[in-house]
Structure 1
């Protein structure tokens, strides 16, 4: 009987002592047990390191990584972890946030689903799966709000917004080898991964809740309070300038992706991404025409109204900021 594959879980920690034990215990309680947990701590000043040390002695599958010299953000931390996983030629990779809770079948269902994809598409195709999840509050109580996720992700969708959250993802070996490195300036490691895999392989939904995604005031991203219609209305119309930063980060990420992979993209995808990037510089109505031509939209009518409005206001500022800083 063949031994089940070893799955590598990458966890980036920083001052996470309040919730870290619950996350570690949820990983130990998984129904699928052939895993290794690689933790990289970003110079925590609370008792996070003490907790990590305790669990290192509790289970030999848990290891702490001292690798790389990038620090200061979650993306940089995960970037260094991913660099290590690529160098070590890991077969499957999952990402764990320090403050979530994994449901008991999270790992088992992830490997079942991605192995199905490998059997269908072949082992030479970059593959990623992402799952549904439930929001929980600081005390671990389920929040009665849902985020509707698409069944699959395409470049048209991902050019404007990511729906594959890192804590829900699993990647196969071919995807890891294709990505090699997550640029630390990409801001969100999961967004970059989703872009690459969608361009060259397949990324699709596991339609099950596999993670309890914790909401608290220190969430790096994905705060449920920012997803309601009223919250979006307030941000976009009452104080729309707050959207300049995420819009700029989004554009910079897509530009970085294109510069790295343009010579490998098929003609259709190359034209799609190039048109999106150049449309920003050409003018609002030129960009709008490109969005319509290629079907580059967010999911949901209201979100697209807000998105187009912010493009009208800030497209030029985004392009100027990006190209003046890069000189290109």
Structure 2
């Protein structure tokens, strides 16, 4: 019997994930209506993670295609390092964290949306504690995903992202760059080049929150204040410097409209001062974040030369 199910390459980055990785792998193996092939890159685990992965590889040799050992000590670099190592052409590709649990219809839901004319699927998450008890959801963003938003804000985690082969080929050279976060960079590059993003308001991922998260949820007043303080101390400016440098390598892929937005964004960052800052110019450029507070903080960051 011929299996006509779409095949998805799972790009999983791991590091000391022995506590939860089995739950995540099982949830991916149990995905409905798809075939999955794992490409796992381990960033120097010192616990039992690699042994657990090898056990799965022995049990499911058709599903586990490659295990890589690296020493980056950073998840974004680890994730992006997998891209050029995949030589087989897949229908779809998905980033995977090591400690989440996916709803059974996560991949087929994403694939259906991509088949409707989108290139990148992403969305909200259900935030859960280490025992998978629900503790809320990631913010619901209602404004359209596009480059004017992407250049100043990441709206979805990589653990929700599924993309087509066209974006995979475009993302592959990104391993040579330093990016703040691989999910934000994926959103930026997708929209900069005029490709379409679908943001799902209905969660398909249980995003586990625990003491070893590299990047946890932004829910709660403390986490929001921490992000604001770090932004005012210069982290947002540093991230923008990286994104701006990397986008210069992709100018030939950009739409004319997005090129204009990019150049105006550069002008705002370089020419705005406390003396001549005009907040209405941000509105004319059209860049925006998804919340009122976020837009006020965006204007403040330009005013204080922290963008």
Q: TM-score under structure 2 normalisation? A: 0.89
Q: Any residues of structure 2 matched to 1:279-294 within 5 Å, and which? A: 279-284=268-273, 285-286=276-277, 288-294=279-285
Q: Which residue of 2 aligns with 1:109?
A: 109
Aligned position for 1:18: 19
Q: Go from structure 1 to structure 2 and tell me whether the alpha carbon gap of 1:50 and 1:269 turns closer, same or farther (over 3 Å shift).
A: same
Shift of 1:233: 4.2
Separation in 1 of the partners of 2:192 and 2:227? 31
Distance 1:259 1:241 in 2: 26
Q: Which runs of 5+ in 1 are unaligned?
A: 119-126, 319-328
Please state if 1:143 is matched with 2:144: no
Distance verdict in 2 for CA 1:273–1:195, change over 3 Å: same
Q: Structure 2 CA distance, aligned partners of 1:231 and 1:220? A: 14
Quote the offset at 1:20 in angstroms.
0.7
Deviation of the 1:100 alpha carbon: 0.5
State which of 267, 291, 301 in structure 2 corresponds to 1:300: 291
More displaced 10-residue stretch of structure 1: 226-235 or 154-163: 226-235
Compare the two structures and name the one with the higher helix fraction: 1
Match of 1:188 among 181, 190, 194: 181
Q: 1:283 to 1:77 in 2, by over 3 A?
A: same
Q: Equivalents in 2 of 1:84, 1:152: separation in Å?
A: 33
- TM-superposed CA distance for 1:108, in Å, is 1.7
Q: Distance in 1 between matches of 2:154 and 2:226?
A: 21
Q: Note the C-alpha offset of 1:129.
A: 0.9
Residue 271 (structure 1) aligns with: 260
Mapped to 2, the partners of 1:171 and 1:296 lie a distance apart of 24
Task: Find the counterpart in structure 2 of residue 326 from structure 1.
Answer: none
Secondary structure of 2:133 counterpart: coil
Distance 1:216 1:113, change over 3 A: same
Q: Kindly tell me: are residues 187 and 7 of structure 1, through their superposed partners in 2, closer, same or farther at Cα, counting changes over 3 Å?
A: same
Cα RMSD over matched residues? 2.3
Q: Deviations over 1:71-122 (max 9, x none)?
A: 221011111111223x43333100110010011111121212211226xxxx
Displaced runs of 4+ in structure 1, greater than 4 A?
Answer: none
Q: How many residues align?
A: 301
Point out where structure 2 has 5 or more consecutive residues left out of the alignment.
none
